[in-house]
Amino acid sequence: MTATTEKTTTLTHWINNAPAEGKSGRTSPVYNPATGQVQAQLPLASAAEIDAVVQIATAAALKWRTSSLSVRSSVMFKFRELLSARRDDLARIITREHGKVHSDALGEIARGLENVEYACGIPTLLRGGYSEQVSTGVDVYSIQQPLGVVAGITPFNFPAMVPLWMLGNALACGNAFILKPSEKDPSSANFMAELLKEAGLPDGVLSVVHGDKEAVDAILEHPGIAAVSFVGSTPIARYIYEKGTAAGKRVQALGGAKNHMLVLPDADIGMAADAAVSAAYGSAGERCMAISVVVAVGDSGDKLISAIQERIPALKIGPGDVAGNEMGPLITREHRDRVAGYIGSAQEQGAKVVVDGRETKFDNDGFFLGVSLLDDVKPGMAAYDDEIFGPVLCVVRADTYAEGLKLINDNEYGNGTAIFTRDGGAARQFQFDVEVGMVGVNVPVPVPVAYYSFGGWKASLFGDTHMYGPEGIKFFTRSKVITSRWPDPAGSKVDLGFPQTR
Ligand code: NAD
């Protein structure tokens, strides 16, 4: 049923520190996933609208880069305070458009806030290096300068956190930032833009433009945009990277994932089961760092399956704004049906459906699906090969550590992984061997804190720099090296020899 009985509103872009109506005449519906109803229409920007925003951002960037580091840092401090004070409001917006439960929405805001706190330290982060007397009377020093106008294109699954991975660092470095959020849950971006205005960010330095492929292509092609930071699915990440770099831009494009949790026979089974359930079904499995595959080594398999199965009936699934619920709906009806399709296909391809989420009944039209547990999953089955991005946990059996490791290293993705064991030597060996960018040791969702950087390997990241932290600062700046001397003109003479330092 596609009911549209909720009151719909028309959303706006955010340009020049004010809401701006769309001009293209094209819109897309924004759903409340917990009710299945359309609650708003989102304007989709045309290439001409993107061009107009780039002109505004270009002028703003020229001024913003002249602001002192203290000014930029105090905008970030103030933004941090406002974001912290208004976190409940922002969490409600996230829940209403994304569907995740309120506590989980607060969690993503907390992790996003870490990145704003990191950007507050911009005076220290942008300190360059200085070498005195590289040659007689000659000094060399390096400085980090902003790129100008930079853009971020973000996915639906973290409508606040992923934009915050980018925008604090991009702005604090002295750039103007254009954000193109997911069209499925766009309102968090406008809310944060308003807070940045309140925090003192000058007009035009941050723009939020909503849109689909047309807006994204216009961003990728626009000569006025120097860099694009992207987070989303692998096919689109690859496209963004290829098209953006072909247009001469700096691009970092983070893609999808298939995160394996390796459970060794000596692991504490209760603890591993708690971790697997939390990491697989939290946020309905719509996290790029969700555990979607448990690799049970040796005789840990049967015990682990029953421990996971035991925990499932207690999970509270329902609307994210109802206190006590632990898991909300999926993002769209189509995505929910696609995820459900993997349960049937896995069964047909020989996997055992231990818990079938399709059997859980819900009494409304929201995009809900119960959680599923599949055993005896193998490479070659669609449920293993594809990123499902839903509450479906696959268990693969492996006889040995080496077999489990090979499975992980053979996978096309390399975002996150975890090992559960009580053997420190085995854990250290895993950290050494595994071809994945972020590794947890008894930590199922090893998202790095803001002062490290976030990024996967292989098909989970296209580009050279990881997201946020020191690599984020590197991404949003370019370095300049200055060689300087102040000689007495009296000693000056023509010398056609190549400059040497000895
Ligand atoms: P998506 O790739 O569909 O969309 C991401 C962004 O790209 C959105 O802003 C969207 O408007 C735009 N886009 C979509 N199709 C496009 C097209 N054909 N041309 C140009 N632009 C297009 O991703 P999603 O469904 O919003 O998010 C879920 C995906 O993101 C999952 O694959 C998940 O693993 C991944 N993700 C990865 C990370 C990470 O850090 N590696 C983090 C979060 C999410």
CB 228 near ligand 1, within 6 Å: no
Any ligand 1 atom below 6 A from CB of 155: yes
Report yes or no on whether pTM surpasses 0.80: yes
Render pLDDT for 104-136 as a digit per residue (tens, 0 to 9): 999 999 999 999 999 999 999 999 999 999 999
Structural tokens at position 401? 């550590």
| pLDDT band, very low/low/confident/very high, at 276 (cuts 50, 70, 90) | very high
The pLDDT assigned to 6 comes to: 56
Cα 501 to Cα 136, 139, 299, 494, 498: the distances in Å are 8, 11, 65, 17, 10
238: pLDDT strictly greater than 50: yes
Is the sign of the CA dihedral 274, 277, 279, 284 positive or negative? negative
216 lines ligand 1 (CB under 6 A): yes
CA distance 253 to 434: 22
pLDDT per position as a tens digit, 31-52 = 999 999 999 999 999 999 999 9
- pLDDT, residue 1, reads 34
Name the residue of 30, 100, 157 to mutate for ligand 1: max ligand atoms within 8 A of Cβ.
Answer: 157
Share above pLDDT 90 across residues of the chain, in percent, rounded to a whole number: 97
Q: Is the CB of 453 under 6 A from ligand 1?
A: no
Structure tokens of 107?
């969690």
> What is the position in ligand 1's atom list of the atom closest to the CA of 236?
2
The set of residues, in sequence order, having a beta carbon less than 8 Å from that of 60 and lying 6+ positions away, is 176, 202, 203, 204, 205
Token pair for residue 445? 């969702």
Contact 236 CB / ligand 1 (< 6 Å)? yes
Separation in Å, CA 235 to CA 12, 190, 437: 28, 27, 19
Number of H helices, E strands in the chain: 16, 23
Atom of ligand 1 nearest to the CA of 181: 9
pLDDT at 5 over 80: no
pLDDT band at 3; cut points 50, 70, 90 = very low
Closest to 329 (Cα-Cα) out of 37, 84, 26, 20: 37
The residue length of the chain stands at 502
Query: Measuring from atom 38 of ligand 1, which residue has the nearest CA?
Result: 288
3-state secondary structure of 42: strand
Structure tokens at 218: 């216009």
- Two structure tokens written together for 175: 């750039």
Question: For ligand 1, atom 16, which residue shows the shortest CA distance?
Answer: 213
* Two tokens, residue 148: 């100008």
Question: Confidence class of residue 244 from pLDDT cuts 50, 70 and 90?
Answer: very high
Average pLDDT over residues 129-156: 98
C-alpha dihedral sign at 135, 137, 142, 146 = negative
Q: What is the Cα 110 distance to its own chain's centre? A: 14
Per-residue pLDDT tens digits for 291-320: 999 999 999 999 999 999 999 999 999 999
Of 51, 57, 42, whose CA–CA distance to 207 is shortest?
57
Residue nearest to atom 23 of ligand 1 (CA): 232
Range 209-227 average pLDDT: 98
- Report, as an integer, the average pLDDT of 180-186: 98
Residue 153 C-alpha to ligand 1 middle, in angstroms?
8
Over range 243-255, report the average pLDDT: 98
* Ligand 1 midpoint to CA 316 (Å): 28
Q: Which atom of ligand 1 is nearest to the CA of 467?
A: 40
Is the separation of the CB atoms in 29 and 59 below 8 Å? no
* Residues carrying an active site annotation: 288
Nearest to 45 by CA among 164, 173, 216, 169: 216
Q: Is 387's C-beta closer than 6 angstroms to any atom of ligand 1?
A: yes
For the segment 274-285, the average pLDDT, to the nearest whole number, is: 98
Residue 364 confidence (pLDDT):
87
Q: Which of 405, 415, 412 is nearest to 467 (CA)?
A: 415
User: Which secondary structure element, helix H or strand E, spans residue 143, and what is its range?
Assistant: strand 138-146
pLDDT tens for each residue of 69-97: 999 999 999 999 999 999 999 999 999 99
Angstrom distance (rounded) from CA 354 to CA 344: 12
Residue 465 CB less than 6 A away from ligand 1 = no
DSSP letters of 244-279? HHHTT-EEEEE----EEEEE-TTS-HHHHHHHHHHH
Sign of the C-alpha dihedral computed for residues 223, 18, 213 and 258 taken in this order? positive
For 70, the enclosing helix (H) or strand (E) is: helix 69-85
Binding site membership of 144 for ligand 1 (Cβ less than 6 Å):
no
Whether 292 and 283 have beta carbons less than 8 Å apart is answered as no
pLDDT at 299: 93
Ordered domains of the chain (ranges, CATH): 3-255+460-482 (3.40.605.10), 259-441 (3.40.309.10)
Q: Is residue 2 scored above 60 in pLDDT?
A: no
Distances 166 to 129, 224, 246, 411 between C-alpha atoms, Å: 25, 19, 22, 28
* The one-letter amino acid at 55: Q
Q: Return mean pLDDT, the chain.
A: 97
Looking at the CA of residue 461, tell me the nearest atom of ligand 1: 41
Best mutation site among 182, 228, 240, 254 for ligand 1 pocket (most ligand atoms within 8 Å of CB): 182
Residue among 261, 262, 216, 264 at smallest CA distance from 242: 216
| 208 Cβ closer than 6 Å to some ligand 1 atom | no
In which band, very low, low, confident or very high, does the pLDDT at 4 lie, cut at 50, 70 and 90? very low
Instruction: Please check whether residue 186 is in contact with residue 13, taking contact to mean a CB–CB distance below 8 angstroms.
Output: no
